[in-house]
Amino acid sequence: MPEGEIVFGAGSYTTVAVIALIAAAALGCAFVLRRQVLAAPDGTAKMQDIGQAVQEGASAYLRRQLRTLVLFAAVVFALLFLLPGDGGVRLGRSVAFLFGAGFSAAIGYLGMWLAVRANVRVASAATRPGGRAEGARIAFRTGGVVGMSVVGLGLLGAALVVLVYDVEAPAVLEGFGFGAALLAMFMRVGGGIFTKAADVGADLVGKVEQGIPEDDPRNAATIADNVGDNVGDCAGMAADLFESYAVTLVAALILGKAAMGEQGLVFPLIVTAIGAFVALLGVFITRVRGNESGLTAINRGFYVSAVIGAVLAGVAAFAYLPSSFDQLSGTADLSGVTADPRVVSALAVLIGVVLAGVILWVTGYFTGTDKKPTLGVAATSRTGAATVVLSGIGVGFESAVYTAGIIAAAICGVFLLAGGSISLALFLVALAGCGLLTTVGVIVAMDTFGPVSDNAQGIAEMSGDVDEEGAQILTDLDAVGNTTKAITKGIAIATAVLAATALFGSYADAVSHALAQVGAVGGGLVASMLSYEIISPVTLVGVILGGATVFLFSGLAIDAVTRAAGAIVFEVRRQFREHPGIMTFDERPEYGKVVDICTRDSLRELVTPGLLAAFAPIAVGFGLGVGPLAGFLAGAIGTGVLMAIFLANSGGAWDNAKKIVEDGKFGGKGSDAHAATVIGDTVGDPFKDTAGPAINPLIKVMNLVALLIAPAVVAISVPEDANHALRIGIALVAAAVAFGAVAWSRVRASRLEATEEANQDAAQATV
C-alpha cells in the first residue's frame, strides 16, 4: 500500500460539499417539522397558563447556565491554543471547539424551547377524538425536530471543517468534538440536578407526606419538576446525543485517514449523511395505528428506518470504496489484510445498526411495564420500600451485564472483520459507531417523546381540563416515554463505548507521532511510563484510577441531587406549614421560589464534576505517563459502561413499577404498595436522569482530554533532557484542581446543611 502524504482530490471536495448541502437540507426539514408541531391546538386557557410558567422557568435556567459556561469556554479556548501543533491547526482547533460547544448548547436550547410548547399541545390532543395517535404524533415529531437538527448541525460542522482543512481536518475536529462533549456534560449534570431535585422534593412531600397526586397544583415543586424535565431530559439529552454524534464522527475521520487515506476520511461522512434520510423517514413512518401502544409504533419506525439505513450504507460502500486496500492511500500498515474494503466497511456499519436494535430490545425488556423484570419490581411493593429498592438494584445489575456483553460482542465482531489489523479494527469500530448513529435522528425523537409526554400529563392534571379517558391516554404515553428514555440512554452509552474504543486508536496515533518528534528516549522510569502492557503495575494503577473516577463522578452527581432535593423538601414543607390555605386551594403556592432554589443549586453543583472530568486525565497523564493514561481510559470505559447501564435501567424499572401500581395493581394509588414504589422511584431519579446519563459524556471528555494532551505529555517527559519538575508540577496542579473542587464541595455542603438546620430550628421555634 502506498506510503506518504495523503492528497485530497477534487472528487472528494465535491462529495463533501454535497454532504454539507444534505446537512443544510436536514436543518430545513427540522424547520418544517417545527411548524407542524406549533400548528397543533395549544389547549385551554389553564393549560396555556401552566405551560407559560414552565416555559419561563426553563428559559431562565438555561440562559443562566449558558452564561456560567461561557467562562469555561473562554478558558479552554485559550488552553487549546497553547497545545503543541502547527499554528493554523491550533487556531482552527480552538475555533472548532467554540463551534462544537455552541452547536451543543444550541441543540440543547432548541430541544427545551420546542418541548415546553409541545407539551400543552399533547395535553390538548388527549381531549379530542383520536387523542392517543395525535398526542403520540406531536410528541414524536417534536423529537424529530431536535433529531434532524442534531444530524444537520453535526454533519454541517464536520463537513465544513473537512472542506477548509482537508487532510488536516481530523486534528481540527478534535476541538469540535471536545467542545460538544464538554458542554453536553455540563448541561447533562446541571439539568439532571435541577430536574431530579425538583422531582424528588415533589414526590417526598406531596405524595408521601401530604398524600396528594404527583402533579397536584397545590405542590409548590410541580412547576419546577416540569421545568426540570425540559432542562434535563430535553436540553441535556439532546446535547448529549449531539456530542455522541460529533465525537463518533471525529474518531471515525481520524482513524479513517490513517486506515484508508482520502476515502477513509470521506466515507464516514457519507454514512452519517445517510442518517439524515433515515431520520426523516423514521419520523414520518412512526404513527400509532388505532389503539396500539405508542411503544409498538416507535419500535416499528425505528427498526424499519434502521434496516433501510444499513442497506443504503452498504450500497454507498460498494459505490465509493475500491475492492482492495492496495488501492487506498492510508498511512497505516494494512499489507496483510486481504479482505475487500467495501465488504468489511458495510458489515461494520451493519454491526452498529444491529447493536442499536438489540440494545433497544434488551432495555425495553428490563424496563417495560408489561415485561417480567419491572412487573417483578412492582410485585415486591407488597412487602415494602426496602424490597422495591433491592429488586430494582438487582434488575439494574443484571441488565448491565447483558448490555455490556452485547457491546463487547459487537466490538469482537468488528475485530474479526479486520483480520487481526489493529489499525483497521479501530477504524471499523468507529464505522460501527457511525452505523449506530445513522438512527440518531430517531433516537433523539424517542428520547424527547418521554419528557414531552410526562409534562403533558402534569399539565393535564394541574389544569383539571382533561377527562378520565384523556388522563389514561396521557398516563399510557408517559409510561411509553419512561421506556424510550431508558432505551436512548442505553444506546447513548453504547455510542460512548464505541467512540472511546475508537479514540484509543487516535490516542495511540497521537503518542506515536509525538515520539517520532522527540528523538532519543530516556530510559528507566521514562521507558515504563510508555508501556501499555496491563501487566505493568503503573499501567494497572491507571486502570484503577480510571474506574475510581467514574465512581467518584457518580457519587458527586447523586450527592448534589440529594442536597438540592433536601432544600426543596424543606421549602415545600415550609409553604404547607405557613400557608394552610394551599391545601384548601385558597392560597397559591410560591412556585417561583422552588424554581430559584433548583436553579441556584444546580448551577453551583455542576462545577465540581466538570472539573474532575477535565483535570483527572491531566493529573494521570503528566504524573504517570502516557501508558498509565491509556490504562486510565480503559478503566473509565469498562467501569463507565457497567455503571451507566446499571443506573439507567434500575431507575427506569423503579419508575415504571410505580406506574404499574398507579394503574391499579397491588392496591393502586394511595396504598402502602404505592408509597413503597414512590420511594423506589425517588431513589431511581438521580440514578437514571443525573448520574447515569452523565457518564456518557464523561467518558468521551476524558478520552478527548487525553488525546489532546498526549503530544504535550510526550514532549515534556520523554526526551533525555526532559523537564520532570515541570511535568510533576503540572500533575500536582491538575490534581489540586480536581480534588480541591471535590473537597470544597464537601465544605460548602456542610456549611449549607448547618445554615438549613438553623433555619429549620428557627421556624420550629416560631411555630
pTM attached to this predicted model: 0.82
Rounded Cα–Cα distance for residues 248 and 242 (Å): 10
Residue 719 φ then ψ, to 5° = -60, 160
Is residue 547 over pLDDT 90? yes
At 546 the pLDDT is: 93
Q: Are 246 and 151 in contact (CB under 8 A)?
A: no
Q: Does 17 reside within a domain?
A: no
Out of 209-213, 471-475, 645-649, 748-752, pick the least confident.
Answer: 748-752
Rounded Cα–Cα distance for residues 149 and 156 (Å): 10
- The region that residue 625 occupies, defined by phi over 0 for left and psi between -120 and 50 for alpha, beta otherwise, is left
| Residue range(s) defining the domain that contains residue 555 | 22-766
Q: Does 88 reside within a domain?
A: yes
* Amino acid identity for residue 35 in this structure: R
Model pLDDT for residues 655-703, shown as the tens digit of each residue: 888 888 888 888 888 788 888 888 888 888 888 888 888 888 888 888 8
Model pLDDT for residues 19-52, shown as the tens digit of each residue: 889 989 989 988 998 888 888 888 788 888 887 8
Please compute the mean of the pLDDT values over residues 87-106 and round it to a whole number: 84
Rounded Cα–Cα distance for residues 202 and 32 (Å): 37
At 549 the pLDDT is: 93
At 21 the pLDDT is: 92
Is residue 723 over pLDDT 80? no
Among the listed residues 128, 215, 200, 142, the one whose alpha carbon sits nearest the alpha carbon of residue 459? 215
C-alpha cell at 362: 434488551
Using pLDDT thresholds of 50, 70 and 90, give the confidence band for residue 737.
confident
Please compute the mean of the pLDDT values over residues 616-628 and round it to a whole number: 88
Contacts of 596 (CB under 8 A, 6+ apart): none
- In percent, the amount of the chain with pLDDT more than 70 equals 90
H or E segment and range at residue 364 = helix 341-367
Q: Does 337 reside within a domain?
A: yes
Q: What is the mean pLDDT of the chain?
A: 81
C-alpha cell at 200: 424528588
Please compute the mean of the pLDDT values over residues 67-73 and round it to a whole number: 79
Model pLDDT for residues 405-422, shown as the tens digit of each residue: 998 898 899 888 887 778
Rounded Cα–Cα distance for residues 538 and 528 (Å): 8
Is residue 518 over pLDDT 80? no
Using pLDDT thresholds of 50, 70 and 90, give the confidence band for residue 3.
very low
At 393 the pLDDT is: 92
**Total number of domains in the chain:** 1
Q: Which of the pair, 432 or 500, is modelled with greater confidence?
A: 432
Please compute the mean of the pLDDT values over residues 325-334 and round it to a whole number: 66
**How many Cα atoms are found within 13 Å in the side-chain-facing hemisphere of 271?**
40
Is residue 110 over pLDDT 90? no
Q: Does 13 reside within a domain?
A: no
At 530 the pLDDT is: 61
Using pLDDT thresholds of 50, 70 and 90, give the confidence band for residue 619.
very high
At 4 the pLDDT is: 43
Is residue 166 over pLDDT 80? no
Q: Does 259 reside within a domain?
A: yes
Model pLDDT for residues 225-247, shown as the tens digit of each residue: 777 777 777 777 778 778 877 88
- In percent, the amount of the chain with pLDDT more than 90 equals 7
C-alpha cell at 550: 467514574
Is residue 18 over pLDDT 60? yes
- The gap between the terminal CA atoms of the chain, to the nearest Å, is 84
Is residue 328 over pLDDT 70? no
Model pLDDT for residues 358-397, shown as the tens digit of each residue: 887 888 788 877 788 889 989 998 998 899 999 999 999 9
Is residue 2 over pLDDT 50? no
Q: Does 9 reside within a domain?
A: no
Q: Are 516 and 444 in contact (CB under 8 A)?
A: no
Q: Are 19 and 273 in contact (CB under 8 A)?
A: yes
Q: Does 80 reside within a domain?
A: yes
Q: Which of the pair, 349 or 337, is modelled with greater confidence?
A: 349
Please compute the mean of the pLDDT values over residues 329-345 and round it to a whole number: 73
At 25 the pLDDT is: 92
At 7 the pLDDT is: 52
Q: Does 14 reside within a domain?
A: no
